[in-house]
A and B are shown apart, each in its own frame.
Chain A
Amino acid sequence: MKNTVKVERAKKDMTQQDLADKIGVSRQTINSIEAGKYVPSTVLALKIGRVFQTPLELIFELEEGD
Protein backbone atom coordinates (compact mmCIF):
# COMPACT_ATOMS: atom_id res chain seq x y z
CA MET A 1 0.00 0.00 0.00
CA LYS A 2 1.35 3.41 -1.00
CA ASN A 3 1.03 6.41 1.27
CA THR A 4 1.77 10.12 1.35
CA VAL A 5 2.51 10.37 5.06
CA LYS A 6 5.95 11.86 4.37
CA VAL A 7 4.44 14.51 2.07
CA GLU A 8 1.65 15.37 4.52
CA ARG A 9 4.18 15.58 7.31
CA ALA A 10 6.33 17.96 5.28
CA LYS A 11 3.28 20.14 4.57
CA LYS A 12 2.68 20.45 8.30
CA ASP A 13 6.42 20.93 8.94
CA MET A 14 6.45 18.01 11.36
CA THR A 15 9.28 15.63 12.19
CA GLN A 16 8.75 11.87 12.42
CA GLN A 17 9.08 12.22 16.20
CA ASP A 18 6.40 14.94 16.29
CA LEU A 19 3.94 12.72 14.44
CA ALA A 20 4.92 9.69 16.53
CA ASP A 21 4.25 11.62 19.76
CA LYS A 22 0.85 12.83 18.51
CA ILE A 23 -0.43 9.35 17.70
CA GLY A 24 1.36 7.43 20.46
CA VAL A 25 3.80 5.26 18.54
CA SER A 26 7.59 5.14 18.15
CA ARG A 27 9.50 7.16 15.57
CA GLN A 28 10.60 3.84 14.11
CA THR A 29 6.96 2.96 13.38
CA ILE A 30 6.46 6.23 11.47
CA ASN A 31 9.67 5.54 9.54
CA SER A 32 8.47 2.04 8.65
CA ILE A 33 5.04 3.33 7.53
CA GLU A 34 6.62 5.99 5.31
CA ALA A 35 8.98 3.41 3.82
CA GLY A 36 6.07 1.07 3.08
CA LYS A 37 7.57 -1.59 5.33
CA TYR A 38 4.65 -1.53 7.73
CA VAL A 39 0.93 -1.11 6.97
CA PRO A 40 -0.82 0.55 9.92
CA SER A 41 -4.05 -0.73 11.43
CA THR A 42 -7.32 1.07 10.72
CA VAL A 43 -7.14 2.75 14.13
CA LEU A 44 -3.63 4.07 13.55
CA ALA A 45 -4.47 5.15 9.99
CA LEU A 46 -7.47 7.09 11.31
CA LYS A 47 -5.25 8.79 13.90
CA ILE A 48 -2.82 9.79 11.14
CA GLY A 49 -5.70 11.14 9.06
CA ARG A 50 -6.96 13.13 12.03
CA VAL A 51 -3.54 14.72 12.64
CA PHE A 52 -3.27 15.79 9.00
CA GLN A 53 -7.01 16.63 8.81
CA THR A 54 -7.07 14.75 5.52
CA PRO A 55 -9.36 11.92 4.33
CA LEU A 56 -7.66 8.54 4.54
CA GLU A 57 -8.06 7.75 0.84
CA LEU A 58 -5.87 10.76 0.07
CA ILE A 59 -3.12 9.47 2.35
CA PHE A 60 -3.29 5.71 1.71
CA GLU A 61 -3.73 4.13 -1.69
CA LEU A 62 -4.01 0.47 -2.66
CA GLU A 63 -1.39 -0.93 -5.03
CA GLU A 64 -1.45 -3.83 -7.49
CA GLY A 65 -1.41 -7.01 -5.45
CA ASP A 66 -3.03 -5.51 -2.34
Chain B
Amino acid sequence: MKNDDLLYVPMLERKWRPLSFLFFPLPVVIVIVLALLQVGLSPDNAAEIIYGSWAVGFTLLNLTKEKIEDEMVKTFRLQAFQTGFFWLMCGLVAIMVVNYLRFEDIRQEIFSAPLVLFLLNGYVFAAFEYQKWKASKEL
Protein backbone atom coordinates (compact mmCIF):
# COMPACT_ATOMS: atom_id res chain seq x y z
CA MET B 1 0.00 0.00 0.00
CA LYS B 2 1.39 3.40 -1.00
CA ASN B 3 1.58 6.04 1.70
CA ASP B 4 0.44 9.63 1.22
CA ASP B 5 3.46 11.78 0.29
CA LEU B 6 2.01 14.68 2.28
CA LEU B 7 2.26 12.65 5.49
CA TYR B 8 5.72 11.24 4.77
CA VAL B 9 8.32 11.98 7.46
CA PRO B 10 11.93 11.72 6.22
CA MET B 11 14.25 9.99 8.66
CA LEU B 12 17.92 10.81 9.14
CA GLU B 13 20.65 8.27 8.43
CA ARG B 14 22.40 6.49 11.31
CA LYS B 15 25.50 8.70 11.02
CA TRP B 16 23.49 11.52 12.62
CA ARG B 17 23.14 9.59 15.88
CA PRO B 18 26.71 10.20 17.20
CA LEU B 19 26.39 13.86 16.22
CA SER B 20 23.18 14.22 18.22
CA PHE B 21 24.99 13.18 21.41
CA LEU B 22 27.30 16.21 21.04
CA PHE B 23 24.36 18.51 21.77
CA PHE B 24 24.06 17.24 25.36
CA PRO B 25 27.47 18.25 26.84
CA LEU B 26 27.95 21.17 24.41
CA PRO B 27 25.65 23.76 26.09
CA VAL B 28 27.09 23.00 29.52
CA VAL B 29 30.57 23.74 28.17
CA ILE B 30 29.31 26.92 26.47
CA VAL B 31 27.63 28.16 29.67
CA ILE B 32 30.76 27.43 31.74
CA VAL B 33 32.99 29.23 29.21
CA LEU B 34 30.61 32.23 29.11
CA ALA B 35 30.59 32.29 32.93
CA LEU B 36 34.39 32.23 33.01
CA LEU B 37 34.50 35.03 30.46
CA GLN B 38 32.11 36.99 32.71
CA VAL B 39 29.82 38.08 29.88
CA GLY B 40 26.94 38.59 32.31
CA LEU B 41 24.83 35.62 31.26
CA SER B 42 21.70 35.43 33.42
CA PRO B 43 20.66 32.03 34.88
CA ASP B 44 17.47 32.16 32.75
CA ASN B 45 19.42 32.67 29.55
CA ALA B 46 21.88 29.93 30.52
CA ALA B 47 18.95 27.56 31.05
CA GLU B 48 17.50 28.51 27.65
CA ILE B 49 20.82 27.71 25.94
CA ILE B 50 20.89 24.31 27.64
CA TYR B 51 17.21 23.52 26.89
CA GLY B 52 17.62 24.58 23.26
CA SER B 53 20.68 22.44 22.68
CA TRP B 54 19.17 19.40 24.40
CA ALA B 55 15.99 19.90 22.35
CA VAL B 56 18.08 19.72 19.15
CA GLY B 57 19.87 16.61 20.45
CA PHE B 58 16.65 14.78 21.29
CA THR B 59 15.02 15.90 18.00
CA LEU B 60 17.92 14.41 16.02
CA LEU B 61 17.74 11.20 18.06
CA ASN B 62 13.97 10.92 17.52
CA LEU B 63 14.31 11.48 13.77
CA THR B 64 17.25 9.11 13.21
CA LYS B 65 16.65 5.68 11.71
CA GLU B 66 17.13 2.52 13.74
CA LYS B 67 19.51 -0.18 12.46
CA ILE B 68 16.53 -2.08 11.06
CA GLU B 69 13.49 0.07 10.38
CA ASP B 70 10.80 -2.59 10.44
CA GLU B 71 7.11 -2.27 11.27
CA MET B 72 7.60 -2.95 15.00
CA VAL B 73 10.02 -0.02 15.26
CA LYS B 74 7.54 2.17 13.36
CA THR B 75 4.77 1.10 15.73
CA PHE B 76 6.99 1.89 18.72
CA ARG B 77 7.75 5.31 17.23
CA LEU B 78 4.08 6.11 16.72
CA GLN B 79 3.31 5.08 20.31
CA ALA B 80 6.29 7.09 21.57
CA PHE B 81 5.07 10.28 19.90
CA GLN B 82 1.56 9.77 21.27
CA THR B 83 2.82 8.97 24.77
CA GLY B 84 5.37 11.80 24.70
CA PHE B 85 2.69 14.30 23.73
CA PHE B 86 0.41 13.01 26.49
CA TRP B 87 3.16 13.27 29.12
CA LEU B 88 4.00 16.78 27.93
CA MET B 89 0.37 17.90 28.23
CA CYS B 90 0.09 16.38 31.72
CA GLY B 91 3.33 18.05 32.82
CA LEU B 92 2.47 21.45 31.39
CA VAL B 93 -1.03 21.43 32.89
CA ALA B 94 0.41 20.41 36.27
CA ILE B 95 2.96 23.25 36.16
CA MET B 96 0.27 25.73 35.11
CA VAL B 97 -2.00 24.68 37.97
CA VAL B 98 0.82 24.81 40.54
CA ASN B 99 1.92 28.19 39.19
CA TYR B 100 -1.63 29.51 39.44
CA LEU B 101 -2.13 28.18 42.97
CA ARG B 102 1.21 29.61 44.17
CA PHE B 103 1.11 33.01 42.49
CA GLU B 104 -2.58 33.37 41.55
CA ASP B 105 -1.42 34.45 38.14
CA ILE B 106 -2.66 32.93 34.90
CA ARG B 107 0.30 34.26 32.88
CA GLN B 108 2.60 31.38 31.96
CA GLU B 109 5.91 33.10 31.32
CA ILE B 110 7.73 30.13 32.80
CA PHE B 111 7.29 28.27 29.49
CA SER B 112 9.65 28.95 26.65
CA ALA B 113 9.77 27.29 23.23
CA PRO B 114 13.17 25.62 23.93
CA LEU B 115 11.84 24.21 27.22
CA VAL B 116 8.67 22.79 25.63
CA LEU B 117 10.63 21.34 22.68
CA PHE B 118 13.16 19.80 25.06
CA LEU B 119 10.45 18.22 27.23
CA LEU B 120 8.44 16.92 24.26
CA ASN B 121 11.44 15.37 22.53
CA GLY B 122 12.81 14.05 25.82
CA TYR B 123 9.52 12.33 26.64
CA VAL B 124 9.22 10.89 23.11
CA PHE B 125 12.78 9.56 23.31
CA ALA B 126 12.14 8.03 26.75
CA ALA B 127 8.90 6.35 25.60
CA PHE B 128 10.61 4.95 22.49
CA GLU B 129 13.64 3.61 24.37
CA TYR B 130 11.35 2.10 27.02
CA GLN B 131 9.46 0.12 24.37
CA LYS B 132 12.70 -1.05 22.76
CA TRP B 133 14.00 -2.12 26.17
CA LYS B 134 10.80 -4.07 26.90
CA ALA B 135 10.97 -5.81 23.52
CA SER B 136 14.65 -6.65 23.95
CA LYS B 137 14.02 -8.56 27.15
CA GLU B 138 14.14 -12.29 26.36
CA LEU B 139 11.14 -14.52 27.01
Interface size on B, residues (CB 8 A): 13
Kindly identify which residue among B1, B75, B136 contacts A28, using a CB–CB cutoff of 8 Å. B136
Are the CB atoms of A31 and B72 closer together than 8 Å?
no
CA of A24 to CA of B68 in the docked complex: distance in angstroms? Answer: 9
Interface size on A, residues (CB 8 A): 15
CA of A24 to CA of B73 in the docked complex: distance in angstroms? Answer: 13
CA of A58 to CA of B70 in the docked complex: distance in angstroms? Answer: 24
CA of A34 to CA of B139 in the docked complex: distance in angstroms? Answer: 9
Q: Chain B, 62-93, contact with A by CB distance < 8 Å: what is the 0/1 string?
A: 00000110111101000000000000000000
**A38 CB contacts on chain B under 8 angstroms:** 72, 75, 135
Q: Chain A, 11-42, contact with B by CB distance < 8 Å: what is the 0/1 string?
A: 00000000000001110110110110110110
Q: Which of A38-62 contact B (CB under 8 A)?
A: 38, 40-41, 43-44
CA of A39 to CA of B72 in the docked complex: distance in angstroms? Answer: 9
A15 to chain B, nearest CB (A): 14
A28 to chain B, nearest CB (A): 6
Interface centre among A26, A31, A34, A43 (most CB of B within 10 A): A26
Q: What are 13 pairs between A and B in contact, CB < 8 Å?
A: A25-B71, A25-B72, A26-B67, A26-B68, A28-B136, A29-B72, A31-B135, A31-B138, A31-B139, A32-B72, A32-B135, A40-B71, A41-B71
